Amino acid sequence: MAAAGQERLTDQMIDDIAGRLAAGQRVRRTLPPGGRLSIDRQLPFLFVYRPPRAGFDPGLAGLITGEASYLVAPTRVGAQAWTARLVKRVAEVLSATFGGFLIVEIWGADEDLENAGNNQIASFRLLADKDWADSVTVERFAASLSGIRILKRKAKVAVTRGGRLSPPGLPALLVPKRARELSARYIGVEVVPIYRDAATGEEFPMLQRSLARQLDTAFRRAAFEFARSETVHRPLHYQALGRSAFVRAVKEVDRALSRVADSFDLLLTVTPTNAEQAFRTFQRSRYEKTPQFRYRPRTVDPALLKRDLYNIKVERIEDPTLEHLFREKQRELDLKLTLIGERERRPFLPTGIALYGTVDTALVDLAASLTQSLVGRSAGNRGRSVDVAAFVKRAELELERYRAVDPMMSGRVIVRDDIVSLMVSAGDLLVGSGMSFPVHRVEPLIQHEIGTHVVTYWNGRAQPFRLLATGLANHDELQEGLAVFTEYLVGGLTPIRLKTLAGRVLAAHSVIDGASFVDTFRLLRDDHGFSARAAYLTAMRVHRGGGLIKDAVYLRGLLKVMDYIKAGGRLDTLFVGKMAAEHSPVIEELLRRRVLIAPPLRPLYLDNPDTHYRIERIRQGLNLVDLTDR
């Protein structure tokens, strides 16, 4: 494509565009000056913004550039006639394919509707032909717009039947006679630009992004209703009408964010390297003296990485769904880098609360009741243990089974002297060299670490977005909840294990309340019946770095997974990559849009008939305590 400054608007250009559409090819065309046409594939609709004489409004243009089929018209006054010819040809080609075509044109309101601009109340006026204004498309469009909330206030929507069907001062894109011949329909959308102060012109970019994200859903719902009711097209879901391809900026932003995320490992950075030695010293002090923990040297400079992080131009992404996901991740990485920089300093704890959330009273009460109700419940004679070599052998066998399904899965088992637990990092399973494993816990741990954390990492690596491997924002809660749920599915969630998770919640809450290490240790040992070693390990986990309250997410995440299953959620969706629970609808949308692919790896235990029985028990209302295998 020629550069924007070298290309002229010609009828030959229109012919070329029409030819590509007729052949089922994607169209992305710069229309100088300032215009752009983007049609992802053959679709029975087009969203249009024509700049008025008063000047181009990037905020208004940005409300449609996330759609799969849009036109931002050139800004030159003389380009109006050319734009109309372009729209007519696009309508001719696509109407011939679908038996109908919808044009949705957006423009700014000339006046504040009830001063909505200064009050940040989203306000819209829909304009449609008198004989079509009561159609299901217009009706559902208006209803979707009414559902928009800006600053917790409901949008105002009015529908005008007949009259002028174009922006002030501009001619209609299609004359009525030709529109009827093409079975083409038109909806005008007059928008109050609430993202700008009406008096001063000051911009409110976060309001604009919120409006664009919500309008994106309303636009697709309108296109869906039109396609289903007035064309031969039969999309299965309104989300399927979103983009299936994305601009280069999406890949660049994804890669840049992933490079920052991959450059450090928060948990390794804040996990003590001398946990065992510190425990022996703690024992000798009769559990009275706070252990002194040592940490790995920090491998990154958080300030320099933050500079790289905020040089990533997330605003270049046109797709509102993807922009929202990437902005969330940018903020999360900022908080994680702050944690690394503030390790063993006072700001560490409040930063962790901002990252992982606080521990609410309901969760604390549930955890306390679990530690009491699980007292005395045992899993039988399960005293035998296996060493690291035996565990590693079993883990490597499990990885081989997944490699047989997807040879690209190159995860390894690595034994390390500087950790005292299991950990997955960059798709590899890390095992502490001094560990031993109760026989009855080997399979649940394998499925927790490999069947969940390793599988979701490599599934994420198979997607076009690397962030699904490193993890979307706030993914820890769902990841850990899903991993614990996996232990239940393979029959290995014991009362002791569930009590441990409850103890982590209580310990995290004590840290937030200002408890010392010894206070947390005594709370677990004396008030909730934990052994001295178990109380120490839990206290160490929540006090490490200066107060890491991440451990509360295990129980909270398990509850979210159970709620998701009870609500009819598909478990397969959660294994597409590393995500938060609230991302599951977005992931399903991206799968419908074919932006994401079906994950190559499926947890092997899901093929076990007993797994389906256990999932059905959850759907029937099984409570938390009865998840355990006694």
What's the average model confidence in pLDDT over 436-441? 92
Question: Can you list the alpha helix ranges (DSSP code H) found in 408-474?
Answer: 439-448, 455-461, 467-470
Q: Specify whether 194 is located in the same domain as 286.
A: no
pLDDT at 378: 38
Domain that holds residue 108: 4-245
% of the chain residues with pLDDT over 70: 96
Report pLDDT for 87. Answer: 96
Q: Label residue 88 by pLDDT band (50, 70, 90).
A: very high
What is the mean pLDDT of the segment spanning 270-294? Answer: 95
Question: Same structural domain for residues 232 and 293?
Answer: no
Give the pLDDT score at 115.
53
* pLDDT for residue 34 is more than 50: yes
Residue 418 is assigned to a structural domain of this protein: no
Same domain, 229 and 288: no
Cβ atoms 546, 345 nearer than 8 A: yes
| Those residues with Cβ within 8 angstroms of residue 307's Cβ, 6 or more apart along the chain or in another chain | none
**pLDDT tens, position by position, 182-196:** 999 999 999 999 998
User: Which amino acid, residue 429?
Assistant: L
* Whether residue 375 has pLDDT greater than 70: no
Predicted local confidence at residue 6, as pLDDT: 45
Q: What's the first-to-final CA gap in the chain, in angstroms?
A: 67
Mean pLDDT, the chain, whole residue set: 92
Q: Are residues 219 and 153 in the same domain?
A: yes
320 contacts: CB under 8 Å, gap ≥ 6: 66, 209, 212, 213, 216
Tokens 């529908």 identify what position?
A: 159
Residue 433 lies in a domain: no
pLDDT at 398 over 50: yes
* Residues 581 and 609 grouped into a single domain: yes
For residue 627, the model assigns a pLDDT of 85
For residue 232, give the CATH number of its domain.
3.40.630
In angstroms, the CA 27 to CA 20 distance is 7
Cis peptide before 33 (omega within 30 of 0): yes
Residues 367, 279: one domain? yes
**Arithmetic mean of pLDDT, 609-618:** 92
pLDDT confidence bin for 566, thresholds 50/70/90:
very high
Q: Looking at the predicted structure, is the pLDDT value of residue 112 above 60?
A: no
- What is the pLDDT averaged over residues 458-473? 94
> pLDDT-based confidence at 557, cuts 50/70/90?
very high
Same domain, 181 and 221: yes
- Cβ contacts of 558 within 8 Å, gap of 6 or more: 480, 481, 484, 485, 501, 624
Shared-domain flag, residues 233 and 357: no
Residue 413 lies in a domain: no
Number of H helices, E strands in the chain: 26, 15
What is the arrangement of strands in the sheet containing 422-425, beginning at the earlier edge strand? 413-416, 428-432, 422-425
φ, ψ at 20 (rounded to 5°): -65, -45
The DSSP 8-state label assigned to residue 196 in this structure reads B
Could you read off the pLDDT of 476-519 as tens digits, one per residue? 999 999 999 999 999 999 999 999 999 999 999 999 999 999 99
Residue that is last in its domain, among 176, 211, 245: 245
Q: With 70 as the cut, is the pLDDT of residue 111 above it?
A: no
Number of domains in the chain: 2
Q: Do residue 161 and residue 225 come from a single domain?
A: yes
**Residue 318 forms part of a structural domain:** no
**Strand partners for 425:** 428
